[in-house]
Structure 1
Amino acid sequence: MSAADRFEASYLIETPLDPRKVAEVMAGEQSCGTFTRVAGETDALRERARAVVSHVAVLETADEPSLPNAWLDRKGVTGPWRRARVTISFPVDNVGANLATLASIVAGNLYDLGEVTGLRLDTITLPWSFRRRFALPAQGIAGTRRLAGVASGPLVGSIIKPNVGLSASETAELVAKLCAAGLDFIKDDEICANPVHAPLAERVPAVMAAVRRHQDRTGKAVMIAFNITDETDAMRRHADLVAREGGSCVMASLNWCGFSAIETLRRSTDLALHGHRNGYGAISRHPLLGISFQAYQTLWRLAGVDHMHVHGVQGKFAQEDEEVVSSARDCVTPLTDGADDRVMPAFSSGQWAGTAQPTFDAIGHADLLFMAGGGILAHPGGPAAGVASIRQAWEAVAGGVPVAEAAQRHPELKQALDFFGAAAG
């Protein structure tokens, strides 16, 4: 079987047993059945369907297990607990064009194996012959830039605040102010989708009327990411409404909608699909449990999203900057060599003009959404000054000019550094 007929997944595992034997258990569990022969498991079947352990690299040991394990306790098995990186190769024909099954195969029951006290899906690597069976982003980076009218530099965005409570007309009034402030992108908060006080049936027309008025005055079509998180049929109806009103983007909470709903939504609309990852911390924060971002974003990119949240450098959440940067790089790395399936990383959480420099230093490009809530709305000069300060900071760092130096020529940037910098310090 050629490399084009197989895909690979890599894992970090912890076990008191021989990691090589545990790797074989993993391969058997996620393909033919188990590490040893069973009735009906012929040589021909194994050749066609068996997952194969490609590599095992034994790492350090630990004195305590990372996770409890009743199976090992019943057997009286104790440490030391060995850690290892394991790579397993799977036949693509075990999956077909089936994203939910792909996720079941690379993860699934592996988290419950009795042999492990820790297991984390780290990476997924696909051949083009397999990747092409799934959706490509309808817009991706290039389409998002075209729809938002931003040829270069970051798309500067913000989030509607208060998160919930505003009526449809109040939301539209706020959007009008944010458009006038000079934003490229405005999104709903993840907790505001279709509330009684501002249902999408009222909110979308009201907001888009404000956006069209702004476009008539300025020629600028601001991209609005309406949160249409819902059950599948409702999301399709919501997306149709956004399209009828001239919108260009919808947002969904990926983890709570699920692969099938996002795939169905992707097939039903060519609007930019803003993938919000809220809840990802539940499957990622423990270093020996869950899914690393490379594997996570691979699965969601196969569903056809156009944007992926990565949090922000020096942000308010728990992730280290290194993880944020690595996640952003994953988004702009093609999954295979066959097509441009890059998606736009969405930076948010505690972002302001002062985080432009470390963000650019870390990733070296500006193909991103740079979203600031307080960094814009709480700027002492007002929202327009907040937007200006962020644009000034990004222009400076892209041109190799220190932000502090640029601030001497730009009062909005200087105000931001003085105000938010003091708070950060």
Structure 2
Amino acid sequence: MAERIRATYWIETPYPIQVAAEVMAGEQSSGTFTRLAAETDELRLAHCARVESIVELDSTLEPSLPMRPLPASFGSKPVYRRARVELSWPIANMGPSLPNLLATVAGNLFELKEFSGLKLLDIQLTSEFAQAYRGPAFGIGGTRVLAGVNQGPLIGTIIKPSVGLSPAATAAMVKDLVAGGIDFIKDDELQANGPHNPLTARVDAVMQVINEHAERTGKKVMYAFNITDEIDEMQRHHDYVVSAGGTCVMATLNSVGLPGLAKLRQYSAVPIHGHRAGWGLYSRSPFIGFSYVAYQKLWRLAGVDHLHVNGLRNKFSEADDSVIVSAKTCQTPMFDAPHNGCTIMPVFSSAQSAEQVADTYAALGNTDLIYCCGGGIMAHPGGIQGGVSSLRQAWDATVQGIALETYAKEHPALADAIKAFRS
């Protein structure tokens, strides 16, 4: 367990790396652009951030991000050096507070004139954070119990069109999905409590279908209702979902913020499905922002139970190796025993079908995930039931070590998926 909060960064700077790192440490703790009378040696010793390590990397002759003009002393061809830097802070600087932690490890430093690139790679927190925050209430095990899926992935989908459907049209789609054998359904992040499909009306319509199906079959499909809203409204939405028999709520994390998610965790009686809409703003550039390794730790500690990680060969810009690192880190404990490990269920989505199953399992090494497919289910030649069956067959084959093509010879739904989705 770290005695101090630690954060690791990738930096690029034309300044001497040690100098640039010390500027970071000063700006994010006790320092400013000049030494002040009140900044005594004793205060600095107790509260100044420390540069724990510097590992020099490569260099470039062009800045990766725009910079202010450099002083003439840098010459006409400055070198922009890159390094991996670790800083640390005493917990006394901000206390075990996620909002204030974020201001410390990811605050003004992105704007400092000394840097032509800066990215937060990882954070290590002290045991005080594990004691102050509840972490996920359900995680992997609790989600499996509520969804009735003891082994294998939860096969899921997203209600589309994203917006425009009425509550009745949403429920009609859900009726087809539950009849087709789905485990998990979620609202789109764009569908929350709009006037064309109010949350309460959607909950009434959808839960009637889900509850009736559960009474007939014994299987209660998990539906993640998007309750993203103002903090007080989210509690009312949550309570309505639970009173109707719902088993999951969804929040768009970057919209509600860490305090909003932590508040939801305080009262939530069901798993919290975390959507990372807006994540590309922090991640897409290799020269500024966050890594998912650091980002997901904040939300796990705040209390999320599921977290989106994209998917292999997805429709976005993220590379496959990044997706797998994201998924693995969600399943990696944050703290040593006896503290809560905060492990959660990664959610694979974005242009997924039976085609990515084998590679997903080979890279992740387990089935503790939600595997969400839109077109991979809806566009299957055999319809929704064929799409869901194809996914189960793909996972069954993969876990048994059987090639999809071999298994497909006796499983028509999988054979149809291979024909339909193989590029």
Is the TM-score greater than 0.5?
Answer: yes
Q: Which residue of 2 aligns with 1:185?
A: 184
Residues 388, 41 of structure 1: alpha-carbon distance in 2 compared, 3 angstrom cutoff:
same
Q: Select 2:17's aligned residue among 7, 16, 19.
A: 19
How many residues are matched?
Answer: 420
Q: Distance in 2 between matches of 1:301 and 1:166?
A: 32
**Aligned partner letter, 1:400:** G
Any residues of structure 2 matched to 1:358-369 within 5 Å, and which? Answer: 358-369=359-370
Cα shift readout 1:11-53 (whole Å, capped 9, x = no counterpart)? 0001001111111111111111248642222233222211111
Any residues of structure 2 matched to 1:335-354 within 5 Å, and which? Answer: 335-337=334-336, 338-354=339-355
Q: Do the aligned partners of 1:24 and 1:35 also contact (CA within 8 Å) in 2?
A: no
Any residues of structure 2 matched to 1:192-271 within 5 Å, and which? Answer: 192-271=191-270
Q: Unpaired segments of 5 or more residues in structure 2?
A: none
Q: Distance in 2 between matches of 1:161 and 1:418?
A: 23
Q: Do the aligned partners of 1:71 and 1:114 also contact (CA within 8 Å) in 2?
A: no
Residues 225, 58 of structure 1: alpha-carbon distance in 2 compared, 3 angstrom cutoff:
same
Q: Distance in 2 between matches of 1:50 and 1:190?
A: 41
Q: Which residue of 2 aligns with 1:134?
A: 133
Residues 147, 38 of structure 1: alpha-carbon distance in 2 compared, 3 angstrom cutoff:
same
**Aligned partner letter, 2:6:** E
**Aligned partner letter, 2:276:** R
Q: Which residue of 2 aligns with 1:50?
A: 48
Q: Which residue of 1 aligns with 2:412?
A: 411
Q: Unpaired segments of 5 or more residues in structure 1?
A: none
Q: Distance in 2 between matches of 1:139 and 1:115?
A: 44
SS at match of 1:178: helix
Residues 296, 73 of structure 1: alpha-carbon distance in 2 compared, 3 angstrom cutoff:
farther
Q: Which residue of 2 aligns with 1:288?
A: 287
SS at match of 2:38: coil
* TM-score, normalised with respect to structure 1: 0.96
Q: Which residue of 1 aligns with 2:57?
A: 59
Q: Do the aligned partners of 2:301 and 2:342 also contact (CA within 8 Å) in 1?
A: no
Q: Distance in 2 between matches of 1:320 and 1:58?
A: 25
Shift of 1:229: 1.1
Q: Do the aligned partners of 1:5 and 1:93 also contact (CA within 8 Å) in 2?
A: no
Shift of 1:340: 3.0
Q: Distance in 2 between matches of 1:334 and 1:222?
A: 28
Shift of 1:210: 0.6
Q: Distance in 2 between matches of 1:304 and 1:79?
A: 46
Q: Which runs of 4+ in 1 moved over 4 A?
A: 73-78
The answer as to 2:398 corresponding to 1:400 is: no
Query: Bigger shift: 303-312 or 73-82?
Result: 73-82
Q: Which residue of 2 aligns with 1:320?
A: 319
Q: Do the aligned partners of 1:229 and 1:252 also contact (CA within 8 Å) in 2?
A: yes
SS at match of 1:86: strand
Shift of 1:4: 4.6
**Aligned partner letter, 1:405:** T
Residues 113, 75 of structure 1: alpha-carbon distance in 2 compared, 3 angstrom cutoff:
farther
Q: Do the aligned partners of 1:139 and 1:270 also contact (CA within 8 Å) in 2?
A: no
Q: Distance in 2 between matches of 1:85 and 1:399?
A: 41
SS at match of 2:355: helix
Cα shift readout 1:182-207 (whole Å, capped 9, x = no counterpart)? 01100001111111111001111111
Q: Do the aligned partners of 2:6 and 2:87 also contact (CA within 8 Å) in 1?
A: yes
* TM-score, normalised with respect to structure 2: 0.96
Shift of 1:303: 1.3
Any residues of structure 2 matched to 1:83-98 within 5 Å, and which? Answer: 83-98=82-97
Q: Do the aligned partners of 1:128 and 1:336 also contact (CA within 8 Å) in 2?
A: yes
Q: Do the aligned partners of 1:356 and 1:394 also contact (CA within 8 Å) in 2?
A: yes
Sequence identity (%): 50
Cα shift readout 1:221-243 (whole Å, capped 9, x = no counterpart)? 10000111111111111011001
Shift of 1:76: 6.5
SS at match of 1:224: strand
Cα shift readout 1:291-349 (whole Å, capped 9, x = no counterpart)? 00011101111211011100001111110000000000110001111323101000000
Q: Which residue of 2 aligns with 1:29?
A: 27
Q: Do the aligned partners of 1:22 and 1:115 also contact (CA within 8 Å) in 2?
A: yes
SS at match of 2:289: strand
Q: Distance in 1 between matches of 2:99 and 2:92?
A: 14
Residues 71, 27 of structure 1: alpha-carbon distance in 2 compared, 3 angstrom cutoff:
farther
Q: Which residue of 2 aligns with 1:174?
A: 173
The answer as to 2:154 corresponding to 1:155 is: yes
Q: Distance in 2 between matches of 1:98 and 1:340?
A: 18
Cα shift readout 1:226-262 (whole Å, capped 9, x = no counterpart)? 1111111111110110011111111111112111111
Q: Do the aligned partners of 2:138 and 2:305 also contact (CA within 8 Å) in 1?
A: yes
**Aligned partner letter, 2:227:** I
Q: Distance in 1 between matches of 2:71 and 2:187?
A: 48
Q: Do the aligned partners of 2:67 and 2:113 also contact (CA within 8 Å) in 1?
A: yes
SS at match of 2:310: coil
Shift of 1:7: 1.4
Q: Do the aligned partners of 1:4 and 1:129 also contact (CA within 8 Å) in 2?
A: no
Shift of 1:72: 3.4
SS at match of 1:258: helix
**Aligned partner letter, 2:179:** A
SS at match of 2:284: coil
Residues 415, 92 of structure 1: alpha-carbon distance in 2 compared, 3 angstrom cutoff:
same
SS at match of 2:132: coil
